[in-house]
Chain A
Amino acid sequence: MSKALEVSNLTVAYGEIAAVRAVSFTVEAGEIATIIGANGAGKTTILNALCGLRDVRAGSIVLGGEDITALPPHERVRHGLSQVPEGRRLFGRMSVAENLEIGAYARSDHAARKHDLDHVLELFPRLRERYRQLAGTLSGGEQQMVAMGRALMAAPKVLLLDEPTMGLAPQIVDLVSDAVRRVNDEGVTVLLVEQNAYSALEIADRAFVLESGEITLTGNGPDLITHPRVRSAYLGYDA
């Protein structure tokens, strides 16, 4: 298998304080990887650094063999990286259709875009009903579908998801997890960040535990579910 994403020695700081310290990890093409960690561990910071929304202090980011560390955010999209941001951050005053369209902003191939749009609407049939509605007026679950659809419209090779199940009802959580798995089955590499560790670990081929800006444990998902430290710290079992 080839490496889809290779992060080495990534250090990101807010002012003097390093929120992410010398983090290295690799995601193989076609797999689902997950970073789990408590609130404030630095998960969002890592994803934003990958997208170029945070300057990195040290380290490198290699996407599909190409070093993208120095690229501005809008060019990273063209290299096949897109993110479903924490808290969804839809364009609330645009319709669902417009949100999806703008997801494909970086692409010019009209036919392929149309194809992907149909695909997204097939993945989330609910969005077809809500197609002309303003995104800001949707329910939380529907908004999450739009956020995922928007990111998929960029036709990413690697999809980053930041806590996609946050604040959702259990059956919607399942729906989102299923969608992630389906997208992955179609060949998109996924890097999933969660506090809600169980649902993430269940579907992950590879998992990293992030604590205070450092990776402290690595393994495959199902193995980590049974790991005593993970069980006590993230899954709420007594050790």
Chain B
Amino acid sequence: MSFNAVTSSFKVARRRKSPLAETLQIGALAGLAAIGFALIGAYVAMDKRHVVEDTLTLSQIAYALMAIAAGFVAGRDTQGRPSGSRIVLHGALTGLVAGLCVSALMLLMASVSLRSTLVAASPMLTKALSLGAPIGSLQALAQVPILGALLGMIGGVFAAMPSRYRRALTCGFAIVLIAGLFRDVFVSVLDNVPDFNGPEAEVFGSGGLNRVPALVLLVAGGIFALLRDRWNAGHNPARRARSSKAGLVLLLVGVLILPLVTNDFVAQVAMLVALYMLMGMGLNIELGLAGLVDLGFVAFFAVGAYTVALMCSSGPLALVDVSFWVALPVAVVLAAGAGMLFGLPVLRVRGDYLAMATLGLGEIIRVLVLSDALAPYLGGSQGIIEIDHPRIFGVSLQSPAALYYLALALAGVVAFISWRLQHARIGRAWLAMREDEDVAQALGIDPVASKLLAYTIGAAFAGAAGAVFAALVGSVYPHSFQLLVSINVLAILVIGGLGSLPGVLVGAIVLIGLPELLREFGEFRYLFYGIALVAMMHMRAEGLWPATTRTKENARA
């Protein structure tokens, strides 16, 4: 709330400046963003990924988007004032300024060695930014601002054109980007189609889309968006709601057949996504439904994982060696018990203190597991290995696809339970508590009991996720249970939409699946999270797939 107030007052202050100063400022901001992007090493890393074979790399697209976005913002801010040509001019100017910033960086790198302080300011960066021109030549220095101006102009045009065409272009571009980025996934799918000899060789190159297919996809995406717009305009909201339901069904079908049509790597990523979905749904009960901020969620995940490890390992630390299906309920019960034990004293405190206390819990569990005192039982930093794979009807689940289905089946069960809880009496009570704790109490809701229930159920789900994790990976180590896991889960909820089950799925795909599939993102993952979170707060604070009550409210308001 206050954050919005700050940014909107900022916008008001900005508007009062002259249009030219504003345009220059936007350009400089985009330029700074571009310089930062290069100096953290992202440019070089993402330059290796070809979206369109031998034509466009991911970092070139990132830079182009910065220029276009700057041009768009500049163009939009001058709108309502003079003509289209002025909008385009302002767009070009921002792009030019942004490009000049990048050229300045190149000049600086050529004359001073930045390398000792900024590792990423390497010859490779200079080479990449020169776009094939002789390094240090005038051409290399001049072409970036010129390109910037062109792209900025496109951004300006973008701002001036009717939104119908804007949506069409965005859609076409997004399709090309997705197809190019996830080339490996699509190729693996096409590989699995029998009697369909090597169409992938024509559509995809060794790293991305080929040029002609890229163009075809761009146009096809645009036309599709235009047609969809026309179709939507002619139909009432109820019809559209049904098409959003159809979207959900499509997503589910995709999720179900995914490992069958792709390769082991994708199945493994999907498995991780399913695992995070399990955890996400647990935290969703606590945070999304009951409003409890829990930063120690990973603790219960660890309890579940170590329970299975101790019960199903054939290694020396095992207490017993039973089937996974025996250990799973034990893990769930123990995690729930841990949740209740910890929740009892902690849930009496409100808000921020709860976040702090749970943060502590997460760390305590990790330190305990690492400690020398417990090392004889839990293996210390060596962890527990040789955990048996789960078996079904005597078949050992070993392939990534089989394990993925295991995780997915559990996620389905948990989703069903979550959905029932949400619409049951207790779900109402949680919602009421979150909206107005005093009134809820005065209506007969026991605040401690209802929070404790949410916390215990959330812990139980996390325990189930931990149990699956141990079985999937076959070993557990303390370093798997860091604070970052809790934060990842939290980010999934925020990105997907608090309190929304499909939101958990979408959030897990976006935050866990995409970075895994795009290896280049690996080290920039948290940067990506940060940007995504800030962008979400600004543009879609309710999440990618918001809970229904919120949308209903928005529709009526």
Contact: B443 with A82, CB < 8 Å? yes
Q: Is B444 an interface residue (CB 8 A)?
A: yes
* Residues on the B chain within 8 Å of A82, using CB: 442-443
For A81-107 the 0/1 string (1 means CB < 8 A from B) is: 011010001011110001001110110
Contact: B445 with A74, CB < 8 Å? yes
Also in contact, A73 and B442, with CB within 8 A (given A91-B432, A98-B428): yes
From A78, A92, A93, give the contact of B444 (CB < 8 A).
A78
Q: Is B235 an interface residue (CB 8 A)?
A: no
Contact: A93 with B447, CB < 8 Å? no
Q: How far is the CB of B433 from chain A (nearest CB, A)?
A: 10
A-B contact count (CB 8 A): 79
* Complex: chain A residue closest to B446, CB-CB: A74
Q: Is B431 an interface residue (CB 8 A)?
A: yes
Contact: A102 with B556, CB < 8 Å? no
Contact: B431 with A93, CB < 8 Å? yes
Q: Is B161 an interface residue (CB 8 A)?
A: no
Contact: A91 with B444, CB < 8 Å? no
Q: How far is the CB of A61 from chain B (nearest CB, A)?
A: 14
* Complex: chain B residue closest to A76, CB-CB: B442
Contact: A94 with B431, CB < 8 Å? yes
* Residues on the B chain within 8 Å of A218, using CB: none
Contact: B553 with A74, CB < 8 Å? no
Cα–Cα distance between A77 and B429 once the two chains are bound (Å): 15
From A103, A133, A134, A136, give the contact of B443 (CB < 8 A).
A103
Cα–Cα distance between A92 and B550 once the two chains are bound (Å): 11
* Residues on the B chain within 8 Å of A85, using CB: 438-439, 442
* Residues on the A chain within 8 Å of B443, using CB: 74, 77, 82, 102-103, 105-106, 150, 154
Contact: B428 with A102, CB < 8 Å? yes
A-side interface residues, number (CB < 8 Å): 29
* Residues on the A chain within 8 Å of B442, using CB: 51-53, 73-74, 76-77, 82-83, 85
Contact: B553 with A137, CB < 8 Å? yes
From A73, A89, A93, A105, give the contact of B553 (CB < 8 A).
A93
Contact: B447 with A134, CB < 8 Å? no
Contact: B441 with A73, CB < 8 Å? yes
Contact: B553 with A136, CB < 8 Å? yes
For B517-557 the 0/1 string (1 means CB < 8 A from A) is: 00000000000000000000000000000000110110011
Contact: B444 with A74, CB < 8 Å? yes
Cα–Cα distance between A147 and B342 once the two chains are bound (Å): 36
* Residues on the B chain within 8 Å of A89, using CB: 436, 438-439
From B432, B438, B549, give the contact of A134 (CB < 8 A).
B549
Contact: A105 with B549, CB < 8 Å? no
For A105-125 the 0/1 string (1 means CB < 8 A from B) is: 110000000000000000000
Q: How far is the CB of A63 from chain B (nearest CB, A)?
A: 14
* Residues on the B chain within 8 Å of A133, using CB: 556
Contact: A94 with B428, CB < 8 Å? yes
Q: How far is the CB of A149 from chain B (nearest CB, A)?
A: 12
Q: Is B435 an interface residue (CB 8 A)?
A: yes
Contact: A74 with B549, CB < 8 Å? no
For A47-87 the 0/1 string (1 means CB < 8 A from B) is: 00001110000000000000000001110111000110100
Cα–Cα distance between A72 and B447 once the two chains are bound (Å): 10
* Complex: chain A residue closest to B550, CB-CB: A93
Contact: B446 with A102, CB < 8 Å? no
* Residues on the B chain within 8 Å of A101, using CB: 428
Also in contact, A105 and B445, with CB within 8 A (given A91-B432, A133-B556, A134-B552): yes
Contact: B436 with A91, CB < 8 Å? yes
> In this complex, which of A91, A103, A134, A150 has the most chain B Cβ atoms within 10 angstroms of its Cβ?
A91
* Residues on the B chain within 8 Å of A105, using CB: 425, 428-429, 432, 443-445
Q: How far is the CB of A142 from chain B (nearest CB, A)?
A: 14
From A51, A77, A94, A154, give the contact of B549 (CB < 8 A).
A94
* Residues on the B chain within 8 Å of A137, using CB: 553, 556-557
* Residues on the A chain within 8 Å of B440, using CB: 102
Q: How far is the CB of B98 from chain A (nearest CB, A)?
A: 42
* Residues on the B chain within 8 Å of A72, using CB: 441, 446
Contact: B435 with A92, CB < 8 Å? yes
Cα–Cα distance between A101 and B443 once the two chains are bound (Å): 11
* Complex: chain B residue closest to A73, CB-CB: B441
Cα–Cα distance between A134 and B431 once the two chains are bound (Å): 14
Cα–Cα distance between A83 and B441 once the two chains are bound (Å): 11
Cα–Cα distance between A137 and B443 once the two chains are bound (Å): 22
* Residues on the A chain within 8 Å of B432, using CB: 91, 94, 102, 105
Q: How far is the CB of A208 from chain B (nearest CB, A)?
A: 22
* Complex: chain A residue closest to B441, CB-CB: A73
Cα–Cα distance between A158 and B397 once the two chains are bound (Å): 62
For A138-181 the 0/1 string (1 means CB < 8 A from B) is: 00000000000010001000000000000000000000000000
* Complex: chain B residue closest to A101, CB-CB: B428
* Residues on the B chain within 8 Å of A53, using CB: 438, 441-442
> In this complex, which of B425, B438, B549 has the most chain A Cβ atoms within 10 angstroms of its Cβ?
B438
> Considering the complex, which residues of chain B in the window 417-474 have a beta carbon less than 8 Å from any beta carbon of chain A?
425, 428-429, 431-432, 435-436, 438-447
* Residues on the A chain within 8 Å of B431, using CB: 91, 93-94
* Residues on the B chain within 8 Å of A150, using CB: 443
Contact: B556 with A134, CB < 8 Å? yes
For B236-263 the 0/1 string (1 means CB < 8 A from A) is: 0000000000000000000000000000
Cα–Cα distance between A52 and B442 once the two chains are bound (Å): 8
Contact: B429 with A102, CB < 8 Å? yes
* Residues on the A chain within 8 Å of B441, using CB: 52-53, 72-74
* Residues on the A chain within 8 Å of B556, using CB: 133-134, 137
Cα–Cα distance between A161 and B444 once the two chains are bound (Å): 17
Cα–Cα distance between A52 and B444 once the two chains are bound (Å): 11
* Residues on the A chain within 8 Å of B549, using CB: 93-94, 134
Also in contact, A91 and B425, with CB within 8 A (given A74-B445, A154-B444): no
Q: How far is the CB of A139 from chain B (nearest CB, A)?
A: 13
Cα–Cα distance between A214 and B191 once the two chains are bound (Å): 84
* Complex: chain A residue closest to B552, CB-CB: A134
Q: How far is the CB of A10 from chain B (nearest CB, A)?
A: 18
Contact: A74 with B552, CB < 8 Å? no
* Complex: chain B residue closest to A105, CB-CB: B444
* Residues on the B chain within 8 Å of A51, using CB: 442
Also in contact, A106 and B444, with CB within 8 A (given A94-B432, A101-B428): yes
Cα–Cα distance between A137 and B552 once the two chains are bound (Å): 11
> Considering the complex, which residues of chain B in the window 362-401 have a beta carbon less than 8 Å from any beta carbon of chain A?
none
Contact: A74 with B438, CB < 8 Å? no
* Residues on the B chain within 8 Å of A98, using CB: 428
Known: A91-B436, A92-B553, A102-B440. 17 other contacts (CB 8 A): A72-B441, A73-B442, A74-B445, A83-B442, A89-B436, A91-B431, A92-B435, A93-B435, A93-B550, A94-B435, A98-B428, A102-B428, A102-B432, A103-B443, A105-B432, A105-B444, A134-B549
* B residues neighboring A (CB under 8 Å): 425, 428-429, 431-432, 435-436, 438-447, 549-550, 552-553, 556-557
Sample (7) of A-B pairs whose CB atoms are under 8 Å apart: A72-B446, A82-B443, A85-B438, A85-B439, A94-B428, A105-B445, A136-B553
User: Top 8 nearest A-B pairs by Cβ distance?
Assistant: A106-B444, A77-B444, A73-B441, A74-B446, A105-B444, A51-B442, A91-B435, A89-B439
